[in-house]
Structure 1
Amino acid sequence: MCGRFTITRRDGNSLAAELGVPADSFVDYRPRYNVAPTQNHFVVRMRYENREVIPATWGLIKSGSKDASMAAKTINARSETVDTRGAFRDAFQKRRCVVPADGFFEWTGPKTARHPIWFHREDSRLILFAGLYEAWQKEQGVWQTTFTILTTAANELLESYHDRMPVILADRDADDWMDPRAPDPHALKRLLVPARADLLTATPVSPDVNDVDNDSPDLLKPPGQMNLSLRSG
């Protein structure tokens, strides 16, 4: 699965350049070291021929829902059933996106002493998770965009930590995935496969990642090298 991730680029301009979106797409951007379910983030979708960034909250809520009670249960969608499960079927057909990140966490050890592992690219390049998005009306006239991250079977690197991993798209495949005019969305399921084992590296990091209120660069230091400035404020 994917239950926490990072996006640590220092500034929005460099992030926009990497994603191929307009330079002003990230006016309010700040690095995140511990993005958690139901928190705000952003996704990239295709609008006509161009990529577009839109703010979104993690945890898919279907259009027409009366409340957000299901959000924490829909942070991930299994790629094998995404086209048939009611919570995701419509979004899979029409509203596919990518979720930019540069790493994600899994945990190891006993339940009483869980140790986070940060999976990221050794070259520090972005990771593009395959995602879906929906918009629902929180209250009269107020709409909110929400998203989910697709998962697939774990590759050789991840399988020691979890039996699932997020679907990571190559940049060349991202536009195909996001294309709302794709004549056969089901054909895109060919992209929903485990990443090659050498794409990512695994780095043990601070157990303070376990607290969703902590959001600091120090979280990515090896265990025992923390300082007191953990809180995002």
Structure 2
Amino acid sequence: MCGRLNITDDPFVIGLCEALGVSIFPDKQKPEIKHLPDGRPISPYFFKRFIRATEQVGIVREVAGKRVFELATWWLLLDYQSGGFKPSKYTSFNTRYDKLNTPNSAGYKAFRQSRCIIPVTGFGETQGQGVNAVYTDFFALEGALALGGLCREWLHYKTGEQALSCSVITLAGHEKLRPFHEKSMPLILNQQDGSMDLWLDGSQTDVSVFDIMLQPHLPQDLLAQHVDKPSTHRPVGEPLFIAADNP
């Protein structure tokens, strides 16, 4: 699974968003970001070195034919509780590729109607458990990564409160990543072949066109860096190079 995200305020993430036709900062000027007492930003922009599931992430999606950048809760299924929408008890920060065409599954409808892209600096994986856990952060050797995801809108019928949620699509494990995480890898969209435009196209309801994208594939060179633990992310050893797959 894709267990954590890294989204920093750098030229690559900003450039990827602009390539998608959205601007993170209005008029390319950074707004003053105010914070809640617990440190969370009150802003439509969110940057953090270690983003956990259930936290907010920035996504790009298409709304009424126009691309927009918005914040979404990284947990696809939400429940309404006192004070607003909260993550459901059902784990849904990732959506498995082999469940996308299962009717009544969490991602079935969203796969057909509300796909999104999550621009990130990198992502993290964990191999093993407890004292045997090994943590690895992955970064693009150049540029940012465009993770393919799903999103859902929520509206409470009585209060009118609204929320937006998302998940990262995970694929079967990739042979080059198995030393770091055996079971799966996130869907990383190719930024050069039109995959991002196709993924965001709300008029594209024939999901068979995505079959090739749902095969394990590395469209970019990566660096894999072991870290002591996600919260402190101190490097352990030297970064390892992972070559992109052939087109």
TM bucket (normalised to shorter chain) is: 0.7 to 0.9
Counterpart residue type for residue 213 of structure 2 = L
- Counterpart of 1:176? 198
Counterpart residue type for residue 17 of structure 1 = E
| 1:4 correspondence with 2:4 | yes
Which structure carries more strand by proportion?
Answer: 2
Counterpart residue type for residue 21 of structure 1 = V
2:127 to 93, 104, 108: 108
Call closer, same or farther: CA 1:110–1:58 in 2, change over 3 Å: closer
Counterpart residue type for residue 169 of structure 1 = L
| 168-177 vs 113-122, greater mean Cα deviation | 113-122
Task: Report if aligned partners of 1:8, 1:31 keep a CA contact under 8 Å in 2.
Answer: yes
CA deviation profile, 1:93-116 (whole Å, cap 9, x unmatched): 100111111211112355224231
CA deviation profile, 1:131-186 (whole Å, cap 9, x unmatched): 11001135711110000110111212211222101010012311101111014123
- Counterpart of 1:188? 210
- 1:181 aligns to what SS in structure 2? coil
- How many Å separate the matches in 1 of 2:19 and 2:227? 26
- How many Å separate the matches in 1 of 2:101 and 2:146? 20
- Counterpart of 2:146? 128
- How many Å separate the matches in 2 of 1:142 and 1:48? 21
Backbone CA RMSD of aligned residues: 2.7
- How many Å separate the matches in 1 of 2:222 and 2:159? 44
Offset of 1:187 from its aligned partner?
2.1
How many equivalent pairs are there?
Answer: 212
- Counterpart of 1:222? 235
| 1:73 correspondence with 2:76 | no
Task: Report if aligned partners of 1:83, 1:186 keep a CA contact under 8 Å in 2.
Answer: no
- Counterpart of 1:34? 50
Call closer, same or farther: CA 1:23–1:43 in 2, change over 3 Å: closer
User: TM (normalized to structure 1)?
Assistant: 0.79
User: TM (normalized to structure 2)?
Assistant: 0.75
- How many Å separate the matches in 1 of 2:134 and 2:176? 16
Call closer, same or farther: CA 1:198–1:188 in 2, change over 3 Å: closer
- How many Å separate the matches in 2 of 1:137 and 1:58? 17
Task: Report if aligned partners of 1:155, 1:197 keep a CA contact under 8 Å in 2.
Answer: no
| 1:167 correspondence with 2:180 | no
Counterpart residue type for residue 4 of structure 2 = R
| 1:202 correspondence with 2:224 | yes
